[in-house]
């Protein structure tokens, strides 16, 4: 069974731009969560989607948003990029909301 | 407010010996705990988990111990191998996963 895939793997943007990251969960998994990893803060929860609905949200500004499609694929969007948004963005999928999460390889976003 | 803490940023052990990674938590609502291992430029890989109704779970060389009264869990790796060198994250679950900041384990040949 294929794992979680994330595209693109690397991205370079400039301040003020916006970016969309994509995540394809493991086949059959209906829950997708997003995390931001930075050296100082570790992995921080962004949001969780289940059945196309946002079920939970972390403590991030409204510039960070996401959505989930009917095939469980998910996208996250960051608008008006800031230098501090440079991070590894990780997507994780699970069968159901309370099941073990399996992570993708991440998208490395660099904001210049 | 850091609800999951891994107080040792790094740990170095000899090949063949035991590695013990520790994690403390503050939220008594956490009911499921997990350990993930992460290599550079890769996503975290699930290692082992434990429900709050248990105090020990074992999977091959990996054992997780949970002490609910102390709000403490630990991951034991026996015997340690050089390929175990990675960052280990402890995570706790209640509605969402909360991660510690990780411990870099180095296993020396």
Report the mean per-residue pLDDT for chain A.
94
Tell me if chain A has a CB within 8 Å of the CB of B49: yes
Per-residue confidence (pLDDT) for residue B2, from 0 to 100? 83
Chain A residues interacting with chain B (CB cutoff of 8 angstroms)? 4, 6, 33, 35, 41-45, 48, 56, 58, 90, 92, 98, 100-106, 108
Q: What is the pLDDT of residues A56-84, one digit of tens each?
A: 999 999 999 999 999 999 999 999 999 99
Q: Where are the alpha helices (DSSP H) in chain B?
A: none
3-class DSSP state of B16: coil
Per-residue confidence (pLDDT) for residue A1, from 0 to 100? 67
Question: Which residues is A54 bridged to in the sheet?
Answer: A49
Tell me how crowded residue A98 is: count the other CB atoms within 10 A of its CB. Answer: 13
Per-residue confidence (pLDDT) for residue B52, from 0 to 100? 93
Residue with tokens 């990893």: A37
- The answer to whether the CB of A37 falls within 8 A of the CB of A88 is yes
The CA–CA distances, whole Å, from B39 to A95, B83, B87 equal: 24, 10, 7
Tell me how crowded residue A3 is: count the other CB atoms within 10 A of its CB. Answer: 16
Looking at residues B88-92, what average pLDDT do you find?
96
Per-residue confidence (pLDDT) for residue A93, from 0 to 100? 95
Per-residue confidence (pLDDT) for residue B90, from 0 to 100? 96
Structure tokens at A91: 């997507």
Of the listed ranges A39-43, B12-16, B78-82, the one predicted with least confidence:
A39-43
A45 Cβ neighbours under 8 A, 6+ residues apart = A33, A34, A35, A56, A58, B96, B97, B98, B99
Per-residue confidence (pLDDT) for residue B15, from 0 to 100? 97
| A90 with B44: Cβ contact below 8 A | yes
Report the mean per-residue pLDDT for chain B.
95
Q: What is the pLDDT of residues B47-60, one digit of tens each?
A: 999 999 999 999 99
Pairing of strands B10-14, B103-108: parallel
pLDDT at A22 over 80: yes
Q: What is the pLDDT of residues B2-41, one digit of tens each?
A: 899 999 999 999 999 999 999 999 999 999 999 999 998 8
E strand map for A28-98: 31-38, 42-50, 53-57, 64-68, 74-78, 87-94
């Amino acid at each position: 069974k294929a794992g979680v895939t994330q595209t693109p793997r690397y991205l370079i943007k400039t301040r003020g731009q916006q970016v969309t990251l994509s995540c394809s969960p493991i086949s059959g998994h209906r829950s997708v969560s997003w995390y931001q990893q930075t050296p100082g803060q570790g992995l921080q929860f962004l949001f969780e989607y289940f059945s196309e609905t946002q079920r939970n949200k972390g403590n991030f500004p409204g510039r960070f948003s996401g959505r989930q499609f009917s095939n469980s694929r998910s996208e996250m969007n960051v608008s008006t990029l800031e230098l501090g948004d440079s991070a590894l963005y990780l997507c994780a999928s699970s069968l159901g909301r309370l099941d073990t999460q399996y992570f993708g390889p991440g998208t490395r976003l660099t904001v210049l | 407010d850091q609800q999951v803490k891994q107080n040792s940023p790094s740990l170095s052990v000899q090949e063949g010996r035991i590695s013990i990674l520790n994690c403390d938590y503050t939220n008594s609502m956490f009911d499921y705990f997990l350990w993930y291992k992460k290599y550079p430029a890769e996503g975290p890989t699930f290692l082992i988990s434990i429900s709050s109704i248990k105090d020990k779970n074992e999977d091959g060389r990996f054992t997780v111990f949970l002490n609910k009264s102390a709000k403490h869990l630990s991951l034991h790796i026996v015997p340690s191998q050089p390929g175990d060198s990675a960052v280990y994250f402890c995570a706790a679950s209640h509605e969402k996963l909360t991660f510690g900041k990780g411990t870099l384990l180095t296993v020396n040949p």
